[in-house]
Each structure stands twice: as C-alpha cells, then as structure tokens.
C-alpha cells in the first residue's frame, strides 16, 4: 500500500502562550484584515486533511464543527499528536478573540479529517475516506498540506469527482527544493498548487517546482496555533497552503453575501489567479505560479510588520478589490 507523508516542514520555535492578540505577517500579506469588516468567512465550511487538531485550543475550539479519525491512533478521537494539523488550522481560522493568533478567515467553520498519525504518515485509503467524508459534510474548500509521487487512476478520478461536486482543493507544492517536481495531489489539474515565499516575497529555497505551480503565499516563519494550547513558528509550503484556503473561505462568503450563491472551483481559481502580483516578471512560471495572492496589493515588507496598525491597512487598500468584484459580477451574471 502506497504511503503518504506530511510535507517536510521546519519547526522554528514553540511558545506556551500569546497573551496579546497577534496577526501574523502571512495573514497581513494576503490582505485578510482588509476584508474582515465585510466578512470573516461566516457560513463557509472548510475541510482539513491532516494530523488532526488540538480540540481544546482556545483559538480553535469554537471553530470546530466536526471531526473524524481514519488512522489507527486513538480512533475515538481526532486529536493532534504531531502539531502540523493544529498549526494549519490556526492559519486558516484561528478566532479573533483578543489573545493568541488570528487566522485568515476567523469565523469559518472547520471539519477535520485526521488521516495522518503522529509520525505524519498515512496511506491512500485514509486519504480517500477523508475526501469522501468531507464531501458528505458539504465543505466548500479542502486544505491538503501533503504530497507524494502516487497518482493512479483511482486517485485521479476521486479528485475529479470532488471538484465536480463543487469543492475547491488547495494543495501544498511540496518542500523538496528546486531539484524536485511538484507531487500529488498538487499536480492534478483539478487542484490548486501553492508555493511558499518569505516576508520579502522571495521564493523559499525548499519549494518544489514545476508547471503545476499556480499561486504563492507566505510560508516561512509563520506563527500559528500548536499542541498543548500553545503556539509555534513553522516553515513550509504546508503553511502557505492554508493562507490560500482561508482566502477561498472569504471569497466564498463574499459570493454568498453579494450574489446569493457560492462560487464554483473554476470561478475561485480565476479570481485567485487574476488577484496576484507577478513576482517573476515573466508571467506564470514554475516557482511562483501566477504570483502572490492578496486582497490588497502589498508594496513593502514594512507593510506587514508586527507594529502595523489597522488604520494603515485602511489607507493602503487599493483598486484591486474593486476590480475583483467586477470580475465576480461578470462571472455570475
């Protein structure tokens, strides 16, 4: 049976608590705070296939709507014993509650499929069961921060079926470096592959490359939720992927609020791709994809520094938001 593993991420630092509410630079770089007055992802269902989640974490417990365990590890619980899934979940939707960290879509609902054990490994059957369970839960977007070289017809058809069901799948490009190609599920045509950049928008040296590269987000030194109700700084395309997943939750909430329906995976893909800053200067390439996604163009790294105040965001919001609204209107009319 083919084995899968969580992408090789790097644990930089662990912190037991975070009393002052903190918005990580990755959340700022994607421009999420610009959207929060209108929506924080309310009513959108986000699926995560990962190592589980710390169910007692104060920044996450209120967002968890359901979970299931497809591993042989403590089968009655979908608790996280690795930390990867909890970190991913916090990036997506850690609550804005006055302390801890804040995710991209702090009011989105989480549906957690624990497919990976504490060693970060699993098999295809657990992945398949996770995807089918999340489809049954009618999630709007699925975060998949893992990869392998495995891609048989059964896997391909399952991914195609999930997309045809109306679910957007956001996948990590992988952390094997420029000598390695992007694996699966990120390389499937039906999924969206995410690359990792740093605060200065430079591609991570660990980023896998290939023609499947589609979109970029911050993935180096990302601060988020972790085990034992704590916090940690991690690096990897696994961290960039949930930033885009959270952004999709916001886009879906905006579509529902403004146009009375959710967007299709193809509509989401188009919005993500036109909403990017071309970082290579050559259009789509094998590293950045189309470029950095953001709800509001970020001009300098200082723009996302820890001391940034919300009023600066208000002044720097540019016309990209209005442009995207016009595109959505054209797509939906």
Q: CA distances (Å), 208 to each of 41, 196, 280, 287, 318, in order?
A: 30, 9, 16, 8, 32
Q: Which of 130, 147, 195, 238 is catalytic?
A: 238
* 238 in catalytic set: yes
Q: Which of 57, 59, 80, 84 is catalytic?
A: 84
- Exposure string of 267-278, with b = 16+ CB inside 10 Å and e = fewer, is bbbbbbbebbbe
CA distance 9 to 192: 19
* 66 in catalytic set: no
CA distance 91 to 225: 8
Which residue matches tokens 């094998």?
Answer: 286
Structure tokens at 166: 């109306």
* Total residue length of the chain: 333
Q: Which of 50, 109, 117, 285 is catalytic?
A: 50
CA 12 to chain centre: 19
Structure tokens at 69: 């365990």
* 99 in catalytic set: no
CA distance 235 to 333: 41
**Catalytically active residues, by annotation:** 50, 84, 238
């Amino acid at each position: 049976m083919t084995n899968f593993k969580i992408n090789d991420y790097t644990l930089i630092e662990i912190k037991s608590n975070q009393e002052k509410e903190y918005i990580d630079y990755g959340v700022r770089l994607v421009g999420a705070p610009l959207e929060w007055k209108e929506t924080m992802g309310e009513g959108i269902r986000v699926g995560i296939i990962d190592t589980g989640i710390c169910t007692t974490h104060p920044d996450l417990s209120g967002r968890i709507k359901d979970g299931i365990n497809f591993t042989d590890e403590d089968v009655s619980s979908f608790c996280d014993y690795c930390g990867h899934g909890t970190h991913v979940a916090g990036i997506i939707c850690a609550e804005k509650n006055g302390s801890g960290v804040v995710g991209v879509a702090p009011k989105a609902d989480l549906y957690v499929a624990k497919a990976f054990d504490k060693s970060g490994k699993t098999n295809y059957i657990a992945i398949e069961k996770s995807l089918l369970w999340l489809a049954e839960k009618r999630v709007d977007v699925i975060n998949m921060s893992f990869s392998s070289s495995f891609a048989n017809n059964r896997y391909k058809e399952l991914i195609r079926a999930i997309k045809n069901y109306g679910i957007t799948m956001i996948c990590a490009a992988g952390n094997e470096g420029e000598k390695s190609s992007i694996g699966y599920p990120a390389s499937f045509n039906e999924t969206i592959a995410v690359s990792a950049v740093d605060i200065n928008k430079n591609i991570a040296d660990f980023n896998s490359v290939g023609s499947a590269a589609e979109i970029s987000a911050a993935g180096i030194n990302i601060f988020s939720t972790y085990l034992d109700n704590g916090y940690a700084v991690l690096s990897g395309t696994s961290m960039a992927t949930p930033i885009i997943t959270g952004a999709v939750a916001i886009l879906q909430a905006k579509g529902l609020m403004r146009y009375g329906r959710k967007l299709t995976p193809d509509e989401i893909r188009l919005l993500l791709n036109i909403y990017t800053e071309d970082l290579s200067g050559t259009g789509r390439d094998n590293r950045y994809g189309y470029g950095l996604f953001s709800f509001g163009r970020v001009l300098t790294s200082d723009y996302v520094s820890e001391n940034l105040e919300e009023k600066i965001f208000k002044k720097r919001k540019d016309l990209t938001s209005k442009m995207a609204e016009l595109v959505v209107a054209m797509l939906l009319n």
